[in-house]
Chains A and B, each alone.
Chain A
Amino acid sequence: MRLLPDLMRRWRVPLLWLLAALLCGGIILKTPVVADLTLFVPRADLVAELLLEQFRSGPTTRLILIGLSGATEVDRAAVSRRLVEQLRSSGPFVRVANGADALPEAELQTLFAHRYLLSPTVGPERFTPEALRTALQQRLRELQSPLAVVQKRWLPADPTGEVLALLKRWQGGIREPAKRLGVWFSPDGGRALLLAETRAAGYDLAGQRQAVTAIRAAFATAVAGTTVQLQMSGPGVIATLAEDTVRAEAELLSVLATLGVVLMLVLVYRSGWTVWIGALPMLAALLAGAAAVDLLFGKMYALTLAFSLTLLGETLDYPTYLFSHRQAGEIVQDTLRGLWPTMRLCAATTLLGCLAMIAPDVPGLNQLGVFTIAGIAAAVATTRWLLPALLPPDWRPARVIGVGVWMDTLLEPRPRLALTVGAAGLLVLLALVIKAPPVWEDDIAALSPVPRELLRLDQELRNALGAPEVGQLIAITAPDAETALQQSEIVAAWLDTQQQKGLLAGYEAAARYLPSQQIQQQRQAQLPEREMLAADLARAAGGLPFQPDLFNPFLEDIAAARTAPPVRPEDLRRTLLGTRIGILLFPGERGWTALLPLSGVQEPKRLAAGLPPSTVGQIWYLDLRAETSRLAAGFRATALQRLTWGVALIVGAIWIGLRCWRGVIATLTPVAVALIFTVAALLSLGERLSLFHLVSLLLVLGIGVDYGLFFSRPGADPAQRRRTLHALLVCCGSALTVFGMLATSELPALRAIGLTVSMGVVASFSVALVMARTPSQ
């Protein structure tokens, strides 16, 4: 009967741990992983938010650019036609275009029906007898042309040629790609091009994935045995691919890294049991970190997942400290008790360093911070309380820690070498400050977890398709669509004058296709009354060979247009016209936004300075390159600031732990020198420092502090110091295995982390070995 309480006591901790692990596992089972870069942008910046909204859900994010290459030109064109047919009959797309069709007849009729409200040339001077006569003479000349067979059908109802004016505007809007064999092709003819617009918004990854799958399936049918190849790009495709790539690469690398570390540990400790026990803190860290992120944020950013790999390296250290410090005649609990002050301090410094990353306005950094804090806490707790419960009290690793002469040689105090290394560190620091200040990476693409090759493909397809690539644009926000259109018209009028001065080559605007109701009503008011128009038309046609009653449809249509309701954006929904307008005018979180993409801007600053003021909405001039660079610089500034806070917190924590300034200096000097060496090495490798390097440096700082603390542990005898050296060698080795693996990654982010941490770990270890010594009492 006393067996049960005994069992309870012995297995209480493992049971609790298991329960917690299962709970965490249950929580993260459904955590959505999103590749959303915007999580790393500081909030509370209006222009930035406007931009982000574009990046996240703007109509351009719904576009999927498709390229078909390989085989012959005829094959590419044929596959293009079949692909369009297949995709049009499937659900996820609003529009699929390959250039084969001009405006469909139904939409041509829509334009025709509304021509007197939509045509930019309608005005009172359009219907004077003189103007009418000029128009009729013009139409007569057009009848002589061979093209008259196609155009003459509009003549009786449209002698002033409004439909032609509308079509010209419609076709002149975007640069249409060149056509070969009737479909869009890249300028060199190597690729047939298509454009698909998804129903799902760009940030709706599930919807985008469905669209991408639909394209792949349709292509499989359309390819019909030819060797044509499919290429896809666009924000949605990139997002889904980024998620896949990060996931796949992170999985592969973590498997490889785990294998490497396991192999190393088995070699060192010669015991599978040790390795299994040693993996428990790491497992706890991953589960707890992911669960904490899920509970606090509801989703996990793909990059957090990538960073979680870094935990692997750090959490392995804790059990290693225990294993290497085991000695005969001491129970596990006692070893842990002896190590606990130092280990606690190590964990505390890392936790505080991460605490600094938590900033209310950068959700991405927040996630990283939360993940690491929860993970480290779980790993330390597992090492401290679960491991002794699982291990027999007298357990020791199968292979006794080797005590070699080389260890004593390594550990010999070398004041002169230490001084030299310190001086070298100072010199390098000076050189960094004076000669080669760090090169910062301000290209936002470098933050993207997307392989550069895909980004290049995207750029190529975008250029070839003339898809709206927003470099310079004016954004107008207003409470409703009508106000946004009216404001666009004011800006458009101003842009016309700037265009005449040669400050820009052209611009796009929804108001070019769909005037505000105000303008439409003005046009209505200027349309002549039927009797007057009939009389003027009769005078104008005098002496011309037109049949007497030919233009009756014209008189009727003008009369109808005088009382017709104005055309609104919603009237054009689900048409090609509506799609074109929807890209430039759309509702958002704060009312409506109208975009006016500019092309061929000569002096952005001058143009931005002259922007007309708005009375009802807001008008912004956005230079996307400049803005994104500014954002990237913003990230970096934020990260630097956090790094500084992290350093301050770590220094504070060490002081509290050691209560002695000499100890603090002894611990921190090696880390500082190691950091200087790491940055210098990165720069000499030609790396441009980004957010990832900075966050990794914070990790190096944490690891370096651990090394410093352990090397300068007070009250350690020589045997103890040898065991510490052994532990740190193993830690350094496993970190190097993991992060060396990451450094080989194709993904810019993972490479940056791997490179920085592996170099940092080596530098920290060697410098700490030389410089850190127990302060003499």
Chain B
Amino acid sequence: MKRWFAVLLAVLLLCWPLAAVIADEALTEVMRTLAAVKSLQAEFREEKTLAMLQQPLVTTGRLYYQAPAYLRKQTLQPQPEDYTANGEWLTLDTPEGGQRDFNLNGYPQLRPFVEAIRATQAGDQATLERYYRLEFQGTPADWTLRLTPLDPTAAGYVAAIVMHGKNERIVSVETLEPDGDRSLMIIDLTTIESP
């Protein structure tokens, strides 16, 4: 047993840098396929598990994306809400608050949350790395990307965002909060335009 263990350890140690290189190449590959997507439309189902609530909170709606900087999250159930990030601007449209525009330059604390999905879908690794520490696992055909916020304020609200994907499609986004609350968004592609 002991010898087996030693061999295994040796193999692991030898392969460690190799694995990192392979992961790095795979991330670049995934980013390239994501960047090739021109536009897409999808349905989502989000399940929030909160300590304050006895049961999870479920919302459903649609996602729209257009390369390189347009992302819209339209919640339909249980109550309509609309969030659109377009370039430097974030537009909120809620039944109570009406429509409000925010310039993302003026609200640096909002930016990481917008970029988590938008920059990933755009395959913009440089932008992601400005706000997050990136950990990639898997292969281009079935990958997991874990984003950990670099900014302490953002880290106070979000511990990590974990994305699963298959090639140029993001399949799910899981948000983990420091207090244990979390939400899981499952994305169901309806149309996609890519070469």
A144 with B51, Cβ < 8 A, contacts A180-B106, A182-B105 known: no
C-alpha gap A149/B156 in the complex (Å): 10
**Is B53 touching A546 in the complex (CB atoms < 8 A)?**
yes
Residue A30 lies at the interface, judged by CB distance under 8 Å to chain B: no
A152 with B52, Cβ < 8 A, contacts A138-B96, A180-B105, A182-B105 known: yes
Q: Which residues of A contact B108 (CB under 8 A)?
A: 182
**Is A145 touching B96 in the complex (CB atoms < 8 A)?**
no
C-alpha gap A145/B94 in the complex (Å): 9
Most buried by B among A141, A143, A149, A546: A149
C-alpha gap A146/B57 in the complex (Å): 12
* Contact residues on A (Cβ < 8 Å of other chain), bracket: 20 to 34
Residues in A126-161 with C-beta less than 8 Å from chain B: 138, 140-141, 143-146, 148-150, 152, 155-156
Q: Which residues of B contact A179 (CB under 8 A)?
A: 103, 105-106
Residue A550 lies at the interface, judged by CB distance under 8 Å to chain B: yes
Residues in B72-105 with C-beta less than 8 Å from chain A: 73, 75, 78-79, 81, 83, 94, 96, 103, 105
**Is A143 touching B105 in the complex (CB atoms < 8 A)?**
no
C-alpha gap A138/B51 in the complex (Å): 18
**Is A146 touching B83 in the complex (CB atoms < 8 A)?**
yes
**Is B52 touching A144 in the complex (CB atoms < 8 A)?**
no
Residue B158 lies at the interface, judged by CB distance under 8 Å to chain A: yes
A547 with B57, Cβ < 8 A, contacts A145-B94, A149-B157, A149-B177 known: no
Q: Which residues of A contact B181 (CB under 8 A)?
A: 152
Residue A542 lies at the interface, judged by CB distance under 8 Å to chain B: no
**Is A545 touching B53 in the complex (CB atoms < 8 A)?**
yes
Residue A525 lies at the interface, judged by CB distance under 8 Å to chain B: no
* Contact residues on B (Cβ < 8 Å of other chain), bracket: 20 to 34
Name B57's contact: one of A143, A150, A155, A181 (CB within 8 Å): A143
**Is A182 touching B106 in the complex (CB atoms < 8 A)?**
yes
Q: Which residues of A contact B96 (CB under 8 A)?
A: 138
Residue B167 lies at the interface, judged by CB distance under 8 Å to chain A: no
Name B81's contact: one of A145, A149, A156, A182 (CB within 8 Å): A145
A-contact bits for B150-183, CB 8 A (1 contact / 0 none): 0000000110000000000000000101000100
C-alpha gap A148/B49 in the complex (Å): 12
A545 with B105, Cβ < 8 A, contacts A144-B81, A145-B94, A150-B157 known: no
C-alpha gap A550/B52 in the complex (Å): 7
Residues in B88-132 with C-beta less than 8 Å from chain A: 94, 96, 103, 105-108, 113
Distance in Å: Cβ of B22 to nearest Cβ of chain A: 34
Residue B48 lies at the interface, judged by CB distance under 8 Å to chain A: yes
Name A547's contact: one of B48, B51, B78, B177 (CB within 8 Å): B51
Name B52's contact: one of A141, A150, A155, A182 (CB within 8 Å): A155
**Is B48 touching A143 in the complex (CB atoms < 8 A)?**
yes
C-alpha gap A152/B179 in the complex (Å): 11
C-alpha gap A546/B51 in the complex (Å): 9
A141 with B105, Cβ < 8 A, contacts A146-B113, A149-B158, A150-B157 known: no
Distance in Å: Cβ of B21 to nearest Cβ of chain A: 35
C-alpha gap A156/B50 in the complex (Å): 13
Residue B59 lies at the interface, judged by CB distance under 8 Å to chain A: yes
Q: Which residues of A contact B51 (CB under 8 A)?
A: 547
A546 with B78, Cβ < 8 A, contacts A149-B158, A149-B177, A182-B105 known: no
Q: Which residues of B contact A550 (CB under 8 A)?
A: 52
Tell me the nearest residue of chain A to B95, going by C-beta. A141
Residue B55 lies at the interface, judged by CB distance under 8 Å to chain A: yes
Q: Which residues of A contact B190 (CB under 8 A)?
A: none
Distance in Å: Cβ of A554 to nearest Cβ of chain B: 12
C-alpha gap A150/B81 in the complex (Å): 17
Distance in Å: Cβ of A66 to nearest Cβ of chain B: 19
Name A143's contact: one of B50, B73, B103, B177 (CB within 8 Å): B50
C-alpha gap A32/B53 in the complex (Å): 70
Distance in Å: Cβ of B95 to nearest Cβ of chain A: 8
**Is B158 touching A144 in the complex (CB atoms < 8 A)?**
no
Distance in Å: Cβ of B8 to nearest Cβ of chain A: 41
**Is B81 touching A545 in the complex (CB atoms < 8 A)?**
no
Distance in Å: Cβ of B156 to nearest Cβ of chain A: 9
C-alpha gap A202/B54 in the complex (Å): 59
B-contact bits for A342-380, CB 8 A (1 contact / 0 none): 000000000000000000000000000000000000000
Q: Which residues of A contact B158 (CB under 8 A)?
A: 149
C-alpha gap A140/B75 in the complex (Å): 15
Q: Which residues of A contact B52 (CB under 8 A)?
A: 143, 152, 155-156, 546-547, 550
* Sample of 10 A–B contacts (CB below 8 Å): A140-B57, A143-B48, A144-B75, A146-B83, A152-B181, A178-B103, A545-B55, A546-B54, A547-B53, A547-B54
- The 3 tightest CB contacts between A and B, nearest first, are A179-B106, A545-B53, A149-B157
Given contacts A149-B157, A546-B53, 5 further A-B contacts (CB under 8 A): A144-B79, A146-B73, A178-B103, A179-B106, A182-B106
Q: Which residues of A pack against B, CB within 8 Å? A: 138, 140-141, 143-146, 148-150, 152, 155-156, 178-182, 545-547, 550
